[in-house]
C-alpha cells in the first residue's frame, strides 16, 4: 500500500505522483434515493483513473460531485490534501478542474475555434477598459490565448473544422471539440464523462489514443467514466467500480478483472 | 404635386428618426432575451425609472421625500444643489447597476430553470413594482429633462434643402443626436459582445448554461452584467424620450411600441431591433401622412382617416406574424420530429 505522498513508476515508464484529490465518505441523496453511498477513493497525480459500473451506478453523480455540480450531503473532498469548501461549478473550473459532459454541452451557435477559446476565459485577466482600447496587455493576452487554442486544435486534429459552427458537426467530432475546450484551460485534473459513449469502434480508438496522448504529453491527471470495460482496462492505471451507489472494487485493471463482486455486478449472480 | 413629394420625403426622414427611438427601447429587450431567455416586460419602466432618477439627481431632489415628510412631519423636498448632467448620468448608471444586482439576487436567481412564462410573469410584476417605486421615490408629476442636448429645428438642413428643392426640411436636432447615439451604442454593443472577454462569456451563457459553468463562467455575474447593460440602454432611451416629451409615466407605454418592433426584427437580433424600429417608425409616419391627406387618400378612396399611428405598428406586426413568425432576422424555428 502506497503512502499518499509517495510516487511510483508504471510498467510503461510513466511516473505517477502523490494523491491530488481524495473523496472521503461521500454520500449523495436525491430525496429518498441514495445515488452515492459512503464512497471513498483517491486520484493520483498524472494517472488515468477510471470510474466504471453498470447503468445507474452513480458514476456521473460522482463526477458531478467532483466538479461541483452536485453537493454531497455527507463526506468531503480533499484537494491537494486540504478539505475543499463547497464550491460552485465555475469556481471548481477556476481551480483548474476541467470537464466534459455525457450529453455534450458545447456552444452550438459558435464556431469550433470560438468554443475552444471560451476555455481560455479564466486565463484572461485584463479589464474591460484595457480590452476596449485593445493595447498592450489585452492584445498580448489575446494572441497568447489564440496560440494555445491553435495548439490544442492541432493536437486533437480538428484544424480542418476550426471555422465550422459546432451545430453542423457530427457527434464524434463534437466530443473531440468538447475535449479541446476542456484541455485548452490547461487543467490539472481533467474529468471526462463517458468520452466514448455512442461512438463506433474507429472513433473509440481515436478517442483512446487522444486520452493517452493528453496524459503523456501534458501530464494531465485524468478521471474518466466509461461503460466499455475493454477500453477502460486498456486505458487506465487504476479503476473504481461502482454498483447501486456503492463502491465494490478499487485497484489496477488486473485486480478488477479478478474481483468476484465486479464480475457479479457485470454478469449477474446466479440466485439459487 | 412636387410639394407633396418633398413633404413625403420629410415625413420619411422624420420616421427614420422616430424609428431610432423605438429601436433604442427594443435593443434593451433583445439583450436580456438573448442572454437569459427572459422577455423583460419591465424594459420600458426601466427607461422611465432611469430618466426619473436622472432628473432627480440633477435637480437634487430628495428621494422618498413624500414618505419622509409624512412620517416625520418634516418639509424637505430638495437638497438645494444642482448636479451637472455628466455626473448625474454617472450616478444613474450606478443606480441601474445596483438595480440589476437586486433583480438578479432577489428575483431571477430563485427562478433559474423555470418556464419562460413564469419568468415573463416575474418581469410584469417587476414592471409594476418599479413603476411604484419610481413614483414613491421621485413623485409622479411630469418633469423636464435637459441634459444639454440640442433641440429644435436644424437650421443647416433647413437652409440647404431650401436652396436645393425650394422646400426646407424640418429635422429636429434631438433626432439627429438620437440617431448618432444609437449608432454608437450598437457599434459599442457589438464590439463588446464579439471581442471582449465578458462578451464572450455572455455569448457562452446565452448558448449553454452547463457548458458555460464548466469553463468557469459565473452565471450570476453574467446575468447581473446583462441586466446592467440593459439598464444602461434603458437610460439612453430614457434620456432621449425624456428630452423629447418630458419625463412622465406614459413613457413606460413606449415599451409596448417596442413589441411590434421586436416581432418585425426578431427577438434575438440586435440589427433586427434597429431595422425593425426603422421600419415601424417610417411605416407609421408615411401611412399617417398618406391616409390623412385629402389630396392622396381622399382622392383615391374618397375618405381620410387620422391617428393611424396608434395602431399601425400592431397591425403590421400581426401581418408579419402570419408570414414570418421569427421576424426578419430572428433565428429560424425548426422543430425536429
Q: Which of A95, A102, A105 to mutate to test the interface with B (most CBs of B within 10 A)?
A: A105
User: Considering only CB atoms, which chain A residues are within 8 Å of B210?
Assistant: 69, 101, 105
pLDDT of residue A191: 95
Hey, what's the cell of B45? 419602466
- What pLDDT digit, counting tens, does each position of B234-253 carry? 999 999 989 988 888 888 77
Q: Cβ–Cβ of A89/B214 closer than 8 Å? A: yes
Average pLDDT on A13-22 reads 86
pLDDT at B225: 92
In whole angstroms, what is the distance from residue A4 CA to residue A7 CA? Answer: 8
- Residue B143 pLDDT more than 90? no
Which of A89, A95, A124, A146 is best to mutate for the B interface (most B CBs within 10 A)?
A89
A186 has a pLDDT exceeding 80: yes
Of the candidates A177, A65, A212, A105, the residue with the CA atom closest to the CA atom of residue B208: A105
Confidence of residue B335 (pLDDT cuts 50, 70, 90): low
**Residue B194 sits at the chain A interface (C-beta within 8 Å):** no
pLDDT tens by residue, A80-133: 988 998 889 999 999 999 999 988 899 988 899 999 999 888 877 766 666 666
Average pLDDT, integer, range A125-150: 76
**Which of A107, A122, A185 is the closest to B211 by Cβ?**
A107
If DSSP codes are grouped into helix, strand and coil, which group holds residue B20? Answer: helix
DSSP B104-129: HHHTGGGGTT--HHHHHHHHHHHHHH
What is the C-alpha separation between A23 and A189, in angstroms, rounded? 14
Label the pairing between strands A97-99 and A48-52: unpaired
Q: Please name the member of B197, B203, B213 whose beta carbon is closest to the beta carbon of A89.
A: B213
pLDDT at B168 over 90: no
What are the backbone angles phi and psi of residue A41, rounded to the nearest 5°? -165, 170
d(CA A199, CA A172): 6
More confident call, B304 vs B128: B128
A182 in contact with chain B, both atoms CB, cutoff 8 A: yes
The pLDDT confidence band at residue B189, using thresholds 50, 70 and 90, is confident
CB contact under 8 A, B211 and A101: yes
State how far the Cα of B217 lies from the Cα of B222, in Å rounded to an integer: 8
> In percent, how much of chain B has pLDDT > 70?
98
pLDDT value of position A124: 76
Instruction: Tell which residue, A26, A61, A48, A75, has the closest CA to residue A215.
Output: A48
d(CA B331, CA B265): 10
**How far apart are the CA of A90 and the nearest CA of chain B, in angstroms?**
4
Average pLDDT over residues A135-161: 87
CA atoms within 13 A on the CB side of A241: 24
Task: State whether B200 and A114 contact (CB < 8 Å).
Answer: yes
Which residues share a beta bridge with A225? A51, A193
Please enumerate in sequence order all residues whose Cβ is within 8 A of that of A203, keeping only pairs 6 or more positions apart, or say none: A172, A175, A196
pTM of the full structure: 0.80
User: What gap in Å lies between CA A117 and CA A97, rounded to an integer?
Assistant: 17
Binary contact (B210, A117; C-beta < 8 A): no
Measured between beta carbons, the chain B residues lying within 8 angstroms of A130 are: none
Place of cell 492505471: A237
Residues in chain A with CB shorter than 8 Å from the CB of B93 are none
B224 touches chain A (CB under 8 A): no
Q: How far apart are CA A43 and CA A123, in angstroms?
A: 25
**Does the predicted interface ipTM exceed a cut of 0.90?**
no
Residue keyed to cell 444613474: B92
A219: pLDDT strictly greater than 80: yes
Q: What confidence score (pLDDT) does residue B336 get?
A: 59
Predicted local confidence at residue A129, as pLDDT: 65
Domain ranges of chain B: 27-253
Q: Give the pLDDT of residue B24.
A: 86
Fold of A1-96+187-272: Rossmann fold (3.40.50)
Nearest-angstrom CA–CA distance, A41 and A24: 7
Distance of CA B255 to the CA centre of its chain: 7
Summarize pLDDT for B70-109 with one digit per residue, the tens: 888 888 888 888 889 999 999 999 999 999 999 999 998 8
Cβ(B327)–Cβ(B314) below 8 Å: no
Mean pLDDT throughout B141-154? 86
| Residue in chain B nearest A107 by alpha carbon | B207
pLDDT tens digits along A194-218: 998 888 888 888 999 999 999 999 9
How far is B11 from B178, CA to CA, in rounded Å? Answer: 17
Amino acid at each position: 500500500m502506497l503512502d499518499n505522498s509517495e510516487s511510483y513508476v508504471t510498467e510503461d515508464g510513466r511516473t505517477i505522483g502523490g494523491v491530488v484529490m481524495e473523496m472521503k465518505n461521500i454520500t449523495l441523496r436525491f430525496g429518498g434515493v441514495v445515488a452515492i453511498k459512503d464512497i471513498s477513493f483517491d486520484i493520483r497525480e498524472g494517472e488515468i483513473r477510471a470510474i466504471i459500473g453498470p447503468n445507474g451506478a452513480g458514476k456521473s453523480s460522482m463526477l458531478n460531485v467532483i466538479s461541483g455540480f452536485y453537493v454531497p450531503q455527507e463526506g468531503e473532498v480533499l484537494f491537494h490534501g486540504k478539505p475543499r469548501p463547497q464550491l460552485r461549478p465555475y469556481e471548481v473550473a477556476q481551480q483548474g478542474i476541467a470537464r466534459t459532459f455525457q450529453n455534450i454541452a458545447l456552444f452550438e451557435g459558435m464556431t469550433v475555434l470560438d468554443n475552444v477559446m471560451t476555455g481560455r476565459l479564466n486565463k484572461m485577466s485584463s479589464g474591460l477598459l484595457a480590452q476596449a482600447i485593445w493595447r498592450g496587455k489585452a492584445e498580448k493576452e489575446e494572441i497568447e490565448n489564440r496560440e494555445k487554442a491553435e495548439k490544442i486544435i492541432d493536437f486533437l486534429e480538428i484544424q480542418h473544422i476550426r471555422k465550422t459552427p459546432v451545430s453542423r458537426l457530427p457527434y464524434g467530432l463534437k466530443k473531440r471539440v468538447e475535449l479541446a475546450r476542456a484541455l485548452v484551460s490547461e487543467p490539472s485534473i481533467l474529468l471526462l464523462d463517458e468520452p466514448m459513449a455512442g461512438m463506433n469502434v474507429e472513433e473509440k480508438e481515436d478517442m483512446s489514443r487522444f486520452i493517452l496522448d493528453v496524459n503523456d504529453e501534458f501530464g494531465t491527471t485524468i478521471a474518466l467514466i466509461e461503460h466499455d470495460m475493454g477500453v477502460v482496462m486498456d486505458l487506465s492505471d487504476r479503476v473504481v467500480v461502482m454498483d447501486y451507489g456503492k463502491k465494490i472494487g478499487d485497484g489496477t485493471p488486473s485486480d478488477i478483472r479478478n474481483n468476484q463482486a465486479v464480475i457479479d455486478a457485470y454478469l449477474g449472480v446466479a440466485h439459487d | 404635386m412636387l410639394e407633396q413629394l418633398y413633404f413625403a420625403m420629410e415625413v420619411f426622414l422624420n420616421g427614420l428618426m422616430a424609428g431610432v427611438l423605438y429601436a433604442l427601447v427594443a435593443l434593451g429587450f433583445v439583450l436580456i432575451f438573448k442572454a437569459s431567455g427572459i422577455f423583460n416586460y419591465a424594459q420600458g419602466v426601466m427607461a422611465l425609472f432611469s430618466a426619473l432618477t436622472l432628473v432627480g439627481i440633477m435637480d437634487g431632489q430628495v428621494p422618498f421625500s413624500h414618505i419622509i415628510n409624512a412620517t416625520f412631519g418634516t418639509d424637505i423636498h430638495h437638497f438645494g444643489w444642482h448636479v451637472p448632467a455628466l455626473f448625474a448620468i454617472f450616478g444613474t448608471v450606478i443606480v441601474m447597476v445596483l438595480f440589476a444586482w437586486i433583480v438578479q439576487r432577489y428575483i431571477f436567481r430563485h427562478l433559474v430553470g423555470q418556464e419562460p412564462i413564469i419568468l415573463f410573469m416575474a418581469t410584469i410584476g417587476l414592471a409594476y413594482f418599479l413603476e411604484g417605486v419610481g413614483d414613491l421615490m421621485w413623485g409622479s408629476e411630469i418633469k423636464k429633462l435637459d441634459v444639454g442636448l440640442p433641440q429644435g429645428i436644424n437650421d443647416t438642413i433647413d437652409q440647404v434643402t431650401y436652396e436645393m428643392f425650394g422646400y426646407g426640411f424640418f429635422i429636429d436636432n434631438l433626432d439627429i443626436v438620437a440617431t448618432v447615439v444609437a449608432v454608437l451604442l450598437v457599434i459599442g454593443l457589438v464590439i463588446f459582445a464579439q471581442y471582449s472577454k465578458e462578451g464572450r462569456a455572455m455569448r457562452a451563457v446565452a448558448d449553454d448554461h452547463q457548458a458555460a459553468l464548466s469553463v468557469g463562467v459565473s452565471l450570476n455575474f453574467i446575468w447581473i452584467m446583462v441586466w446592467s447593460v440593459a439598464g444602461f440602454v434603458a437610460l439612453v432611451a430614457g434620456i432621449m424620450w425624456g428630452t423629447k416629451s418630458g419625463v412622465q409615466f406614459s413613457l413606460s407605454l413606449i415599451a409596448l411600441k417596442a413589441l411590434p418592433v421586436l416581432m418585425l426584427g426578431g427577438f434575438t437580433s440586435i440589427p433586427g431591433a434597429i431595422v425593425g424600429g426603422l421600419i415601424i417608425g417610417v411605416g407609421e409616419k408615411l401611412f399617417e401622412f398618406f391616409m390623412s391627406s385629402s389630396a392622396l387618400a381622399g382622392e383615391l378612396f374618397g375618405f381620410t382617416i387620422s391617428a393611424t399611428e396608434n395602431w399601425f405598428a400592431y397591425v403590421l406586426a400581426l401581418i408579419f406574424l402570419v408570414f414570418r413568425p421569427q421576424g426578419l432576422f430572428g433565428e429560424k424555428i425548426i422543430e425536429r420530429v
